[in-house]
Amino acid sequence: MESPKLTIRRVDLTTTQRLEASGVHPLLARLWAARGITQTKDVQLEWPAMLAPGTLTHAAQAAQLLADAIAANKKMLIVADYDCDGATACAVGLRALRAMGADVDYLVPNRFETGYGLSPAVVDLALLHHAGKPDLIITVDNGIASVEGVAEANAQGIGVIVTDHHLPGQTLPDALAIVNPNQVGCGFPSKNLAGVGVIFYLMLALRAELRTRGVYPENGGPRLDALADLVALGTVADVVKLDPNNRLLVTRGLDRMRRGLMQPGIRALFAVSARNPQAASGFDLGFALGPRINAAGRLADMGLGIRCLTTDDDTQALELARELDTINRERRQIEGVMKEQALAATEQIQAGKIGASVCVFHPDWHQGVVGLVASRLKEKFFRPTLAFAPAGDDELRGSGRSIPDVHLRDVLDLVSKRHPGLIRKFGGHAMAAGLTLGRDDFEQFSPAFEQAVIELTGRKSFEPLIETDGSLEQGFFNAQVAVMLEQEVWGAGFAAPLFLDDFMVRSQKLVGEKHLKLLLERGHQRFDAIWFNRVDSLPEFVKVAYRLDQNVWNGRITVQLVVEYAEAA
């Protein structure tokens, strides 16, 4: 493998000075300017700055349909996706609709039985639902591709409202309304809402409609900002781009968590994750709470996660969170074994014998975890990666993750055109995709995938890049700055600060048998540092890409450097 290339983000000095002059901390001004922030209105993260629902196509129409259904006491059924975004979206819909008087329940497909989205098989389950046949189905985080499922629902006399954020295909489902910022013609300024964000906006539109009808007085009705913790969790966990509007939604949710105002299930997830909600961060949501919800959909039944997020009983929430934690531990064990097997299968890559892609399969793998394995291999080898597992019915289920240089869905589309019938089903976007093959077609597919990557990109290898913010000013190496940075919302499309400086290694030792503990010196300052999952020692002089972190011990906060990469200086 090639060593990563270290780069520094470009910063417009005029923009930095303008932000600093408006009262922004000098370091934040520099970091924000490097991430495209040009004016303070892009960092106004209070509710009044949120984009209004009015420009979200079909939101008003869908709100009218929901208001009519509530008035007629019709049965509604939310059909959710089986990941954290889908679970939080379902919880937002259930809590908000019930607060506004709706007769509503939910159904979440099982990834191993009915697959993704509102399929005809899911409609059959809806007809047999314990709450009775629904009059209206509301999809959350799915439905834009459910042409056959919506047609089946219509045939059964069930209306459908689709709320989704995925890219639409050439044919749209024949739904009563489609609320999706990515549908053609939608003027909503942010195309990056997660599924939970879309249903949250629809609930805002519904409350406005009920106010118009006199059901609630002006500015009356349920406090939907109480659902911001759910919106924040789903938004971060789905790794959507954190544009200004999404950062606002996440900030408001984190603020409620830090003040102790959250659903019992989220409080319980913090507890079983051993994380402190008073210092809640995007990292907690993406790497502690989100995976525990996702684990239910990967290995068991996402209904467990939805029940955790919708119960108002603290004791029950904690019991459910503990179950989710147990499932997540099992998921980590399975993933660990699969990753080792995948690495063994990719020895050729480590020897530099193949080029543009990674494509792996094992007959004993779990289809619910292949996406995570693909993600780990993509990070290690910096290549578009697909991992496959048996899926029954003589099929293989694959999940892929990609790099910025390669649009994964376009690659799969090219394979399907070059080799008609080889891929039975596929979908996704630039950075992630899923597909189904016949059990005996992997050997043919793997070189076809490799060739399509080369054809689309014109390249047989890819140089990994680590984008940094350059040197950190000496005066900012302190715990106060570390706390300030941690309070900000960082994530997809708004990367957390990563600094780059030269240090002398004063001491180094292995802790926990797998982490490198360091004492680094720069100028006349010395800093504790740690490089997680690193066992090889470093030379005396190093160039280090690192994050500024706070280390809390016995109530005392000190600064710590978390090393992401280092090389000889």
Domains of the chain: 48-324 (3.90.1640.30), 346-457 (3.10.310.30), 466-568 (2.40.50.460)
Compute how many other C-beta atoms are within 10 angstroms of the C-beta atom of residue 416.
Answer: 18
The strand pair at 465-468 and 5-8 is best described as parallel
Quick one: pLDDT at residue 3? 80
Higher pLDDT, 503 or 338: 503
What's the mean pLDDT in 347-359?
Answer: 73
Spell out where 372-524 has E strands: 385-390, 395-401, 423-428, 432-438, 465-468, 499-511, 515-522
CA gap 522, 257 in Å, rounded: 37
Quick one: pLDDT at residue 354? 66
Q: pLDDT category, 521, cuts 50, 70, 90?
A: very high
- In total, the chain counts a number of residues equal to 569
Q: How far is CA 475 from CA 470, 472, 503, 561, in A?
A: 15, 8, 16, 15
* Mean per-residue pLDDT over the chain, rounded: 93
Q: What tens digit of pLDDT does each residue of 356-376 get? A: 999 999 999 998 899 889 998
Cβ atoms of 110 and 122 within 8 Å: the answer is no
Higher pLDDT, 513 or 529: 529
Q: What share of the chain in percent tops pLDDT 90? A: 80
Quick one: pLDDT at residue 57? 94
DSSP structure string for 353-407: ---S-EEEE-TT--TTTHHHHHHHHHHHH-S-EEEEEE-STTEEEEEEE--TT--
Q: What tens digit of pLDDT does each residue of 241-294 get? A: 999 999 999 999 999 999 999 999 999 999 999 999 999 999 999 999 999 999
Q: What share of the chain in percent tops pLDDT 70? A: 98
Q: What tens digit of pLDDT does each residue of 209-225 get? A: 999 999 999 999 999 99
Higher pLDDT, 500 or 145: 500
Sign for the CA dihedral angle at 373, 375, 379, 381 comes to: positive
CA gap 285, 235 in Å, rounded: 9
Quick one: pLDDT at residue 351? 54
What's the mean pLDDT in 133-158?
Answer: 97
- pLDDT at position 428 over 80: no
- Look up the pTM and report it: 0.91
Q: What tens digit of pLDDT does each residue of 290-343 get? A: 999 999 988 888 899 999 999 999 999 999 999 999 999 999 999 889 888 888
Quick one: pLDDT at residue 341? 87
